[in-house]
Structure 1
Amino acid sequence: MNNTYHTKNELLDYSQRIHFFARSDLSVSLERYIKRWGQCPVERCKVIVVLGGDGFMLMALNKYWELEKPFYGLKFGSVGNLMNFEADIERLEMSLQKSISFSYFPLFVKILGEKSPILSFFAFNDVCLYRRQYQALKIKISIDNVIVTSMVMGDGLLCSSVMGKSAYYASAGGISFDLPYTLGVCAINPFSLTRWKGRLLFPYQTVRAEILNSETRPFVFGWDGQDKVLEPQYKTIEVCTYEKKTITLLKTENLKYGILC
């Protein structure tokens, strides 16, 4: 995670160069901000201001991250580690100018199935596998094609970027980390006799999770607050940190959170 402070000589003129993106129930607030600051087309804006909570910020990242614009969140939800407290609407540009820039690396995900096309996409917070019914999952874990455990038995498996390390990953007992390239992997509620609980991976390493007996032990695949039941032939997930692109979040200096975690 790289932190960048704007100096006085580097202050950006955000006036009339803001694109606002809001949750559907925040139309009134969205109109207020657009009336004061205008609505710049997202392709030409200098910053994307997101109105909502952490979940909606993740939706915004999935939608716009490839435009390589910085994101500034205004907290309207119950959780807001990725957001900033809403200030006086007239002070928005000043808050943007005084913000700290945090750069993060996304996760690259591949889902493999027998005689089926490979599914691939990017995630930003976390990726997880969890059981659909009462039977625990049995998962074989490999790192760079080397088997590290032939079977982890429990509720599932969770992979987290540094952006998501203080959310579900932390509550699941994952090993804490701060380096931006690191990928945290942990078992979710593993069976008491399971020795392998998790591991930290470097950017050049890929974790591979293969679901065993998936016909009788079905699972759900989740990422960034979304989930999906995969077709039966898809049983293997690969995840690694993607170093070639970054996403940038802006945080205001005087927030009690200090940094994103």
Structure 2
Amino acid sequence: MGRRSIHFVASPGRRDDPAVEALVERYGQAPLAEADVIVALGGDGFMLHTLHRMIETDLPVYGMKTGNVGFLMNRFEKDGLSERLCAAQEVSLYPLKMRAETTTGEIHEALAINEVSLLRQSNQAAHLRVLVNGAVKVEQLVSDGILLSTTAGSTAYNFSVRGPILPLGTEALALTPISPFRPRRWRGAVLPASAQVSFEVLNPEKRPVSATADAFEVRDIARVDIHEERDTSLRLLFDPDHSLEERILNEQFL
């Protein structure tokens, strides 16, 4: 494959960075409508922002780490970018689609690349009912919240609340309670990616709960329905020696 037309995007704190300016000067800045690939410069948070913002373009995104966290990023180098893009391996990720209903009946929808999480809004623990494929699996979960994670997001917030790491290609989702109190023995579940998951908020007036799909938040939730959105594919590019699959595998041995 010949030289690829690149559209560079950079996190706000890096846009005036001389290293970023040097990349644009060397490789050019293709208009988004004419680009073959998007190169995102920053950390994981900016990569998630870029994927959400560019989701309609269907362009592959190649990240280079200039931020503090770079699980989704490749190493930063100014030389050989064209060759690296041609040799990069593509990984397709499918986001979660959240449909959230508030206590006033408003409906909000959003996509999540990492996870959909429910969190208590006050000092009162959340009381939640958990359903999978329409069947009640936990009648009353008393906790700070709960989350449903993709494989790519399983090493992020999910892992920090003791959820399992899911290798890419497992076609699974991680359902993980956040600081659970009751049931005392329930610590979550690994579900097939085809599962339809719902959360109902019990007594939402006294125990208000918010729902978050990555950075998109809805407050005062009554019910949330979640499924994997197979009609939407996110295309990430990784250097052959820095594959996302290998990184997720290695995280289990740190």
Verify same fold: TM over 0.5: yes
Q: 4+ runs of 1 displaced by more than 6 Å?
A: none
Aligned with 2:164 (options 175, 185, 198): 175
Partner of residue 57, structure 1 = 47
Are 2:83 and 1:97 equivalent residues in the alignment?
Answer: no
Q: Which residue of 2 aligns with 1:111?
A: 100
User: Does 2:94 align with 1:120?
Assistant: no
Aligned residues of 2:103 and 2:204 also touching (Cα < 8 A): no
Aligned partners of 1:208 and 1:238 also within 8 Å: yes
Query: Equivalents in 2 of 1:217, 1:113: separation in Å?
Result: 13
Residue 199 of structure 2 corresponds to residue 212 of structure 1? no
Q: Distance in 2 between matches of 1:258 and 1:181?
A: 13
Residue aligning to 2:251: none
TM superposition score normalised by structure 1 = 0.87
Structure 1 residue 61: deviation in Å? 0.6
Match of 2:20 in 1: 30
TM-score w.r.t. the length of structure 2 is 0.89
CA contact (8 A) 2:96 2:112 kept: yes
> 54-63 vs 203-212, which deviates more?
203-212
Question: Which of residues 235, 242, 253 is equivalent to 1:255?
Answer: 242
Is 1:238 the counterpart of 2:225? The answer is yes
Question: Could you tell me which residue of structure 1 aligns to residue 150 of structure 2?
Answer: 161
CA separation in 2, counterparts of 1:228 and 1:189?
20
Q: State the 1:193 CA deviation.
A: 4.2
Per-residue deviation at 1:196?
3.0
Q: Does residue 1:143 correspond to 2:132, yes or no?
A: yes
Give, in whole Å, the separation in 1 of the partners of 2:89 and 2:128.
Answer: 40
C-alpha deviation, 1:184, in angstroms: 1.3
Aligned to 2:75: 85
- Distance (Å, rounded) in 2 between the aligned partners of 1:258 and 1:212: 38
CA shift in 2, pair 1:40/1:247, >3 Å: same
**Residue ranges of structure 2 left out of the alignment (5+ in a row):** 249-254
Q: CA 1:112–1:229 in 2, change beyond 3 Å: closer, same or farther?
A: closer
CA deviation after TM superposition for structure 1 residue 220, in Å: 2.7
RMSD of aligned Cα (Å): 2.0
Q: Which moved more, 1:169-178 or 1:207-216?
A: 169-178
Instruction: Summarize deviations over 1:94-114 as a string: whole Å, max 9, x none.
Output: 111221111111111111246
CA contact 2:100–2:218 (8 Å) conserved in 1: no
User: Which structure 1 residue ranges, 5 or more long, are not aligned?
Assistant: 1-10
Q: Percent identity?
A: 30
Contact 2:72–2:244 (CA under 8 A) maintained in structure 1: no
